[in-house]
Amino acid sequence: MQHRIAAILFGTILAMSPFLIISGNASHGGVQVADEEALLRDISLPSGESISVVFSSRTGGFWVDADCGGDCRDLVLTVSDGVSENTATITDNAVVKGQLVEGVAWLNLSNTGSDSLNIDIQASLPELNSLGNADSSSTRDSAVQVNSFLSTSNLAETFAAKTTRGGIHDPSATWINATFNGLDSMYWLIDANVSDILELSLLHSSADVELRLLSGDDGNQILASLSSQSNSSSSTAPQRVWKTTTNNHTWLEATTTTASSSFSARLAAHESIDNWPATGEVNDVQELHEESATFYGLLSTGDEDVIMVNASGPHLWKFTTSSTTALDVNISAMVDGIWVPFLTFQGLQSDSAHNSDSSIWTPEATALLKVSISSLSEETGIWSFDVMRTTFGDLDNSTDANGAIPMNIDSAMENWDFIELKEGVSHTGWLSLPTYDGADTYLLNLEGWEESRYRIKLLLTADNTRIIAELIEMDWSSRTIISNSSTIIDDGIEGVTTLEVGEGTHLLRIRSVELMNGEGNWTWGDVNINPIPWTIEISSIQSEEGIEPWFEAEGFVSQASTGLLYFLGFLMLTPIIWVIWTNRIYSRRAAQLAGDKERLKTLRKMIAEGQVKQAISDLKLSLRTIAALDWEEGVETWGEANIRHRTVAVDLAVWKLAPEFSIKGGVPVLFGVHILKGTWQVAAVRFEVSAGEHWEVISTEPRFLSRGDEVFLDTLSEGSRTFLKVELEGNGTGLEVSMSGLVENKPVAAKHTGSLRLEEE
């Protein structure tokens, strides 16, 4: 019944694998697909249980040797093919040999004892996909059929298949299971080109056997050989060799001195080295996107492979090499633009399987790592190089915190990190003692008012290491410590300290006691010295509120206010600048007019010539301009006045103007006044009628406040000169002019005794 179930399962998944295992409660568990080399090892068979290995067989001889740890009397081992069944002979081991026909075959194991059995099996089974006697020839005849051997071009898969027992091997290599059957030698012609890489492994043999790789048309050149002098043990590690072909004809030769001996081997034929994955060039920098990476390569005699790795910053690096041959490995680091040798180790110094582990620390100024790998033997070999980087950064950063006390507050703000003061929030970091990183310094920012006080609480956690944490209240103006408080962890794992400080920026320092006391007697980068991890929780409460300022100006407010002051200052200066500029213009204009006497005659002439608008415009300009001249010079510039009245304190003058100077249809006159003494306040000039209705002032130029026949001139200082054009409206026949005001708070007045007839030209 068990064989029938196996046959059904075999038919459904035969294409997946050459071997199928059917088990009850054995450690392989249920139905599994497996590789022969792994399948037949470490089988745990409980009492009363059985296990069957089902495979598709070619016609040929087989050999099975089971090791039960020295006593196989409770083991029943049979090999059957549906035609015949072969039962093992039981001694210390269980051994069975025989012939199988093509079809389904079973390897059956049963435990008849009361104790569990642990079984290791070595075997040569004519499995369908393996090469055997039928594929060989008895002589080296180049005309025979060429045998193709499988391989994988992915080195990662090759190293993934590495086990302590199996060593580095290609998991896709072709199996060779053969029995001599009276022959003393067999030959397989290998399908390989010049410079291809052959991987040959000898796994098991029932007696003495020698395998050789031969090159040349007649096979007279020996490339490599492997041999077993007797029956191999199930615990014997496979023998393996890698070789480069030198001729288009390459043979695998198997010889023995024992008739009917069997062996199991594997052979992989890899394409030439040019088709293998490149291992790195000097100018091809590998980026570590994760914290580790693995590189693979293949070396022929005299070759050198180079790996360049981006290694910026201070890190701990661990390197692991595995290879099929002894290697010479040199590691250098580019520090400040210079290549510095860091580490050299050889495969001869590693274990017998050519595995090596090494570690180094790199300085902060490191930019690149260069790994040079070459072979120490004449054999072809493959290698893997594992790179693992460990970063000991602070506060979740990849960089190390600054450890010194800042020189001043500006330097602190620019180059040191702030740490958050919040209860329940943890901060972590490292003191990398191997690189003499013995201190981490952080800034504490406490915002408040003058005389505000705060109490800081610090909880430090470390793992039984000598470490101290210190709170420091700083006076940055003198770079002195106002007060400080610290906690040290020596034998315990936690420490607490508190400190009361004022508002501002203060410090937290975490230091190694050993380095602080000068006890660091190790060399830089000693990988036997462990970094110290630390964790802190830091919080603060305000104990005194302090004095709140009237206005707490932010930085941008101060900058804005400074700019505003400059702007307002400019606005305030603008009128002065304008007055100075216009006075300068008027002075220049006045100087020009001073040479042009009888200005009113000139203006009348312009009117007579039809230039009325130009004359009116010139009159407006002249009113201000001529006022800049000396009074007498100004009067002469206008021409002879129609009315002139002078007292000790004031000098008055009136000129009649042509009707064309009227803007509103009134009677235009020109009035001028020169204050000779004192300052006239509330000064006013009155235009009185000699006969008829009162005059009414309807317009002045420049504009002054007027009411009825009065024009109010406000305050006239001593020495001032004022000219204005006045338009009068009314039916009067004469004009009398008077002026009044206050001088030193006393009323004063001046009036011309005569009358001016306005209808006269």
Residue-range domain boundaries for the chain: 2-124, 133-273, 277-390, 409-536, 641-761
Give me the CATH code for the 133-273 domain, please.
2.60.120
- At residue 62, the pLDDT reads 92
Round to whole Å and give the CA distance between 528 and 185.
56
Give residue for tokens 């932010």. 554
Q: Which residues of the chain have pLDDT under 50?
A: 1-19, 21, 24-35, 164, 274-282, 347-349, 594-595, 760-761
The answer to whether 361 and 527 are in contact (CB under 8 A) is yes
Contacts of 631 (CB under 8 A, 6+ apart): 651, 674, 721
Name the H helices within 95-217: 155-160
Among residues 317, 205, 194, which one has the least CA distance to residue 255?
205
> What pLDDT, on the 0 to 100 scale, is given for residue 33?
31
pLDDT confidence of residue 354: 76
Segment 520-570, tens digit of pLDDT: 888 888 888 889 888 999 988 887 776 665 555 566 666 777 778 778 877
In sequence order, the 6+-apart residues with CB closer than 8 A to the CB of 443 are 412, 413, 416, 417, 418, 419, 505, 506, 507, 508
pLDDT score, position 5 = 29
pLDDT of the residue at 96: 92
Domain 409-536 has CATH 2.60.120.380: yes
Span 277-390: which CATH code? 2.60.120.1050
CA–CA distance, 643 with 659 (Å, rounded to integer): 18
How far apart (Å, rounded) are the C-alpha atoms in residues 463 and 475?
33
Beta bridge partners of 542: 454
Task: Report how far residue 51's alpha carbon sits from residue 71's, in angstroms, rounded to the nearest whole number.
Answer: 19
Q: Note whether 685 and 698 are within 8 A (CB).
A: no
**Longest Cα separation, the chain:** 169
Domain 641-761: give its CATH superfamily: Gamma-adaptin ear (GAE) domain (2.60.40.1230)
Find out if CATH 2.60.40.10 is the number for domain 2-124. no
Report the length, in residues, of the chain: 761
What angle in degrees, to the nearest 10, is found between the helix axes of 631-638 and 555-594? 60
Decide whether 409-536 matches 641-761 in CATH topology. Answer: no
Report the C-alpha dihedral over residues 575, 581, 586, 588, rounded to 10 degrees.
170
Bridge partners, residue 119, by sequence: 43
